[in-house]
Structure 1
């Protein structure tokens, strides 16, 4: 039964949450987090296999791939700005990756966390497929990596812009870079809703940070393992 109801239930939960979010303007009414929690509760209440629900939403997953490709449109529209600031953008994105990976390893070392879990956490700020692949290459657990990516993305979408405004970061390009670098595709979607400039620079940061993380995370992780014995 859930196979046939999966798409209508998903779309209904999303549209209702979007309507509530626009009406009440509350950060906790998130169109990604609330539907996810409702669907999890529904699957548990009906004792439905997640695999059955996943099979029913396969057409939506295919459309999602096309939607991710659509992030290239704002990049094209902002191409002139991006070219004029390319080096600072690359530097900022690379620095954000070093800070993210470095602080994760530092905290993991302080609390004596296992290498397997650390490898799963290191990729928390890049898009899910890439995070799972990079994490697995370091000996991590792809399922944990995927779960953390979703959590980080939802947190970024909910509190990202309020935190940026609180910190006095009001420049659209800086906001977009911060959202894409820290909250990957979910944060990029939230940035695109705020403005075209934010969406374009978030898309760019998401791509650059994904590539840089794939390049830097494994050697930094193995260097950490070498130092800690």
Structure 2
């Protein structure tokens, strides 16, 4: 039964929470977080198979691929600004990837975490397909990597902009770069709703940070393993 109702249920929940978000303007009223929690609760309560739900939402997954490609539009619209600041943008996103992976490995070393687990969580701040591929190449568990990516993205979408404003960061380009580098596609979606400049720079940061993490994470992880021997 969940197979037939999966797509309309997902769409209706998203639209309902989206309406609530416009009304209440609260970071926890998030159109990604709340529908996900409701659907998880319904699956558990009804005993339905998660695979059936996933199969029922395949058309939405296809549309999601097109939506990700559509992130290129704000990049094109902000191309002049991006060209003027490309070098510092690449540097900042690369440093963000270095800090994200590095702090994960340092904290993991202090806590004596399992290397397989560390390889799974070191890619937490990049988009899901990249995170799964890179973590698997390092000996991690792709399912854990994907789960953490979703959690980090939701956290960024919920508290990212309130946290930036609380810290006194109001520049739209800086906001976009921070959200895109830290919360990948889910955060970029929230940034696009915040404004066209934030959306464009978040899209760029998501791409650059993903590439930087894919390049930096494996050698840093192997360096960590060598150091911990």
TMscore range, shorter length:
over 0.9
Query: d(CA) in 2 for partners of 1:64 and 1:52?
Result: 19
In structure 1, what is the equivalent of residue 43 of structure 2? 43
Give how far 1:2 is off.
1.0
How does 1:123-162 map onto structure 2 within 5 Å?
123-162=123-162
Report Cα offsets for 1:147-177 as digits up to 9, x if no partner.
0000000000000001111111110000000
In structure 1, what is the equivalent of residue 64 of structure 2?
A: 64
Alpha-carbon distance in structure 1 between the residues aligned to 2:206 and 2:152: 13
Match of 1:28, SS state, is coil
How many residue pairs align between the two structures? 229
Q: Which 4+ runs in 1 deviate beyond 3 A?
A: none
Alignment of 1:1-229 (within 5 A): 1-229=1-229
TM-score (norm 2): 0.99
Q: In the aligned structure 1, how far is the partner of 2:26 from the partner of 2:150?
A: 20
Taking structure 1 as the reference length, what is the TM-score of the superposition? 0.99
Q: What value does the CA root-mean-square deviation take over the aligned residues?
A: 0.5
Q: Distance in 2 between matches of 1:225 and 1:188?
A: 33
**How far did 1:25 drift?**
1.0
Unaligned runs of 5+ in 2: none
Q: Secondary structure at the match of 2:218?
A: helix
Runs (5+) with no aligned partner, structure 1: none
In structure 2, distance between residues paired with 1:126 and 1:160: 15
